[in-house]
């Protein structure tokens, strides 16, 4: 019989204090280059198929060539074993348990492409989109290649998770950001700093952290990422489409 994997405790007391202060924590070298390359190739193969599975379709209707490798893959963990195991990465599982005080469960995953020239997402707080009670929503954003200011890395305001939920309104700069999202209001966005990361790094961040991304201004560099959203096992999501809890063990 296969025994459940023992839960890791990868974070030091200093790292936990850093997360509580800043609302995010970057973990270096969580995934090897080989693992990241294999997963990128795996997702590419799924989207490249002539008979692409329905769950991986970019959108309803005929498949346009430009959509195959630009439109995000939503919730692949519900249908694909490799994506499920990436969501269950033991370092992420252990870090979340340390930060939340108990075992976490997965509720959402997204694989983002962000090709050269594509816009980012305006400053926002994840809790605005995913309400849960008690509020334990936490994201783990995995860099699937080197990410920096040029190719559209994340930006965040350290400590902004302490201010509570902010009002959100229409996106102001549609040249820089996707227009269909919402933007945090009443916060000084000049305090945002870039979160530059290497392939295989993971940033874990609080649901009330104000964060954004900017346009990919590179000529030939993508900014792929795999993002998981988690809650503590005893929390409840309001949205009907995210109520399924995925154990991490």
pLDDT (tens digit per residue) in 153-176: 999 999 999 999 999 999 999 999
CA distances from 17 to 20, 24, 111, 133 (A): 5, 10, 29, 24
CA pair distance 63, 68, nearest whole angstrom: 7
Q: What local confidence, expressed as pLDDT, does residue 3 receive?
A: 57
114-123: average pLDDT:
98
What is the 8-class DSSP label of residue 237? E
Q: What local confidence, expressed as pLDDT, does residue 23 receive?
A: 98
Residue 134: is the preceding peptide bond cis (ω within 30°)? yes
Give yes or no for residue 1 having a pLDDT over 90: no
128-134: average pLDDT:
98
104-130: average pLDDT:
98
- CA distance between the termini of the chain: 15
Q: What sign does the CA torsion over 93, 85, 73, 219 have? A: positive
Q: What local confidence, expressed as pLDDT, does residue 62 receive?
A: 87
CA pair distance 157, 234, nearest whole angstrom: 28
pLDDT (tens digit per residue) in 2-17: 556 799 999 999 999 9
What is the value of pTM for the model shown?
Answer: 0.96
Domains of the chain and any CATH numbers? 13-47+70-247 (2.60.120.620)
DSSP, collapsed to helix, strand or coil, labels residue 25 as: strand
Give yes or no for residue 53 having a pLDDT over 90: yes
H-run or E-run covering 20? helix 13-22
């Amino acid at each position: 019989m296969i025994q459940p994997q023992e839960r890791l405790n990868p974070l030091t007391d200093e790292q936990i204090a850093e997360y509580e202060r800043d609302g995010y924590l970057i973990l270096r070298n969580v995934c090897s280059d080989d693992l990241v390359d294999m997963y990128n190739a795996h997702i590419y193969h799924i989207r490249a198929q002539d008979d692409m599975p329905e769950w991986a379709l970019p959108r309803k209707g005929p498949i346009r060539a430009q959509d195959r490798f630009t439109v995000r893959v939503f919730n692949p963990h519900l249908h694909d074993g490799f994506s499920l195991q990436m969501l269950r990465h033991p370092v992420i599982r252990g870090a979340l348990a340390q930060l939340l005080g108990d075992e976490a469960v997965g509720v959402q995953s997204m694989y983002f492409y962000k090709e050269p020239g594509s816009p980012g997402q305006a400053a926002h707080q994840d809790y605005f989109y995913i309400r849960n009670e008690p509020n334990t929503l936490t994201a783990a954003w995995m860099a699937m290649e080197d990410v920096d200011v040029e190719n559209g890395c994340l930006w965040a305001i350290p400590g902004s998770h302490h201010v509570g939920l902010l009002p959100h309104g229409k996106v102001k700069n549609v040249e820089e950001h996707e227009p269909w999202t919402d933007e945090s209001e009443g916060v000084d966005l000049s305090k945002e700093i870039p979160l530059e990361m290497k392939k295989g790094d993971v940033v874990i961040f609080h649901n009330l952290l104000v964060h954004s991304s900017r346009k990919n201004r590179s000529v030939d560099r993508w900014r792929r990422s795999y993002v998981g959203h988690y809650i503590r096992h005893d929390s409840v999501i309001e949205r009907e489409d995210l109520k399924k809890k995925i154990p991490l063990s």
